[in-house]
Amino acid sequence: MRIIHHGGHTGVTGSCHQLKLDNGRSLLVDCGLFQGDDAHRHPDLEIEFPLDGIDSLILTHVHIDHVGRLPYLFAAGFRGNIYCTKPTAKMLPLTIEDALKIGFTRNRRLINKFLNLVKDHLCPMEYQSWQDIPCGAQIKFKSAGHILGSAYVEIQAEGSKVIFSGDLGAPYAPLLKSPEAPYSADTMVLESTYGDKNHQGRRERRQTLQKILEKSLDDKGTTIIPAFGLGRTQELLYEINAMLQQIETRRRFSLLKEVDVIVDSPLGGKFTKVYKDHDRFWDNEARRRLRTGDQPLIFENLITVDDHRDHQRKVDYLDRSGRPAIVIAGSGMCTGGRVVNYLKRLLDDSRTDIVFVGYQGRGTLGRDIQARRRSVEIDGRRYPIRADVHTLSGYSAHADQSNLVNFVKRMRKRPKKVILVHGETKAKRVLKGELQKLGVDVK
């Protein structure tokens, strides 16, 4: 068997890997969209590789850089089974519908037609159960702890075991259970997003964010957190809820009339509902809060913005009101979405805090702001940056260097070969050096 990469091998985005068996048949693992500089290197999104013999698609999770080329895959003629976890199957239509509206069409009939086509090919699976698939392999999903429904996949075929890590979560992330190392593998395809970095600890990052929120309360400014609607938004709501309760207890007054928490993402609101409906996948701490009557993803001063007119009113209101607010809006890399309008209005206000809680790809607006430039260009116009800019690495939904090394180190039978993907050149180079210390052959 051999592995062929169709994206996500030389960059972070566009994950798509083909496992070709000796019997001539193949499966794909993910089929994601290119973003940032990767998109400039791959401007043509049509599927250019032959689909002959590819009869299955395995999805590790529903982030757009892992599923965003699905419409192009079907347009090229793919009609195989799509294997994923049950929560992923629930959220996939939401992600694909959003991608279709942005990149293809807003025609409701065409969108529904494609979504029904995808649903007809979905094969949802439970974690920890083996499934025979048409190419002659067996697959099993194990929790990756990255977002709800995320998984790494073990593939048994032709006497070998191959593991595709997908995106691995950080062990101390809120809400979800931590990923556990697999028992064994012959080959592992491992993500390396933060292969050269270690994150802040959970306590440190919470203390830092809480200080920023208290600053917003005191100077009546706005904290803007660019975040993906899926995963990061729910983690932030979970922790912000707890932080506001702590501030209330210490200051001895209600914050409900003092600060608005705004989730300006219709998709984020829909994903939050799916999270609430799938609390059996939450970690012990989150489930304990539920048992005490706390609803960590719901609180009174939480405002979810749906339509564009309401969004514009919120931007106008924050620009002139002088009322403190916390805004969570997409996109997470500021490459588009509603967060851009908040940035245009509030970047030049010294009371504004911009908090980056996730990876900012090269060539994105988020990376430019994160670099603390004096100004940035948005839609052809330059905007001065007077806001405070913060990066909280501890909120990343990705495993850091030590987590990635431990994922391999804690295996009972380590892989003969590790192939690093989903990372920039430096991250892969540094992680390669650390893994080689374990005696592993790293490509």
- State the Cα–Cα distance between residues 410 and 207, nearest whole angstrom: 30
Mean pLDDT lowest among 39-43, 76-80, 385-389: 39-43
Q: Which amino acid is at 106?
A: R
Task: Report residue 205's pLDDT band, with 50, 70 and 90 as the boundaries.
Answer: confident
Q: Which pLDDT value is given to residue 250? A: 80
**Which residue has 């039978």 as its token pair?**
413
Instruction: Kindly report the number of other CB atoms within 10 A of residue 86's CB atom.
Output: 15
Spatial strand order of the sheet with 122-125 comes to: 2-5, 17-20, 26-29, 54-58, 81-85, 122-125
Are 331 and 410 found together in one domain?
no
- State the Cα–Cα distance between residues 340 and 330, nearest whole angstrom: 8
Are 87 and 181 found together in one domain?
yes
- State the Cα–Cα distance between residues 150 and 180, nearest whole angstrom: 13
Are 273 and 352 found together in one domain?
yes
CATH number at residue 173: 3.60.15.10
407 pLDDT more than 90:
yes
Report which of 160, 137, 325 is spatially closest to residue 244, judged by C-alpha positions. Answer: 325
Are 290 and 330 found together in one domain?
yes
Instruction: Establish whether the linkage from the previous residue to 402 is cis, with ω within 30° of 0.
Output: no
Are 421 and 375 found together in one domain?
no
Higher pLDDT, 153 or 306: 153
Task: Report residue 306's pLDDT band, with 50, 70 and 90 as the boundaries.
Answer: confident
Are 426 and 410 found together in one domain?
yes
Contact 202, 403 (CB under 8 A): no
Q: Which pLDDT value is given to residue 77? A: 96
Contacts of 261 (CB under 8 A, 6+ apart): 237, 240, 244, 299, 301, 302, 303, 325, 326, 328
Instruction: Kindly report the number of other CB atoms within 10 A of residue 245's CB atom.
Output: 13
Report which of 230, 223, 293 is spatially closest to residue 265, judged by C-alpha positions. Answer: 230
Residue 277, classified by CB atoms within 10 Å of its CB into exposed (0-12), middle (13-18) or buried (19+), is exposed
Are 255 and 349 found together in one domain?
yes
Are 278 and 181 found together in one domain?
no
Mean pLDDT lowest among 121-135, 272-286, 294-308: 294-308
pLDDT 10s digits, 227-281:
988 998 999 999 999 898 888 888 766 665 688 999 998 888 899 999 999 999 9
- State the Cα–Cα distance between residues 180 and 196, nearest whole angstrom: 21
Question: 177: which DSSP letter?
Answer: P
Q: Identify the domain containing residue 255 by its residue range.
A: 202-395
| pTM, two decimal places | 0.89
201 pLDDT more than 80:
no
Contact 327, 240 (CB under 8 A): no
CATH number at residue 371: 3.40.50.10890
- State the Cα–Cα distance between residues 335 and 329, nearest whole angstrom: 12
Are 300 and 317 found together in one domain?
yes
Q: Is 140 helix (H, G, I), strand (E, B) or coil?
A: strand
Max CA separation in the chain (angstroms) = 69
* Mean pLDDT on 295-305: 87
Domain count, the chain: 2
What's the token pair of residue 198?
Answer: 């270690």
- State the Cα–Cα distance between residues 70 and 239, nearest whole angstrom: 33
Q: Which pLDDT value is given to residue 256? A: 59
Where do runs of H (alpha helix) occur along 220-265?
232-251
Task: Report residue 315's pLDDT band, with 50, 70 and 90 as the boundaries.
Answer: very high
Mean pLDDT over each residue of the chain, to the nearest integer: 93
Are 264 and 358 found together in one domain?
yes
Are 167 and 28 found together in one domain?
yes
Spatial strand order of the sheet with 222-226 comes to: 302-304, 260-264, 325-329, 222-226, 353-356, 388-391
In this structure, what is the dihedral angle of CA atoms 173, 174, 176, 179, given to the nearest 10 degrees?
20
Task: Report residue 408's pLDDT band, with 50, 70 and 90 as the boundaries.
Answer: very high
Task: Provide φ and ψ at 276, rounded to 5°.
Answer: -65, -35
Report which of 93, 65, 326, 61 is spatially closest to residue 176, judged by C-alpha positions. Answer: 61
- State the Cα–Cα distance between residues 412 and 382, nearest whole angstrom: 54
Higher pLDDT, 203 or 251: 203
* Mean pLDDT on 205-214: 91
**6 CB-side CA count, 13 A:** 24
Q: Which amino acid is at 71?
A: P
21-53 burial code (b ≥16 CB/10 A, e <16): beeebbbbbbbbbbbbbbbeebeebebeeebee
* Mean pLDDT on 376-394: 93
* Mean pLDDT on 302-315: 93
Are 243 and 334 found together in one domain?
yes
Contact 131, 92 (CB under 8 A): no
pLDDT 10s digits, 15-47:
999 999 999 999 999 999 988 788 878 877 789
Higher pLDDT, 221 or 246: 221
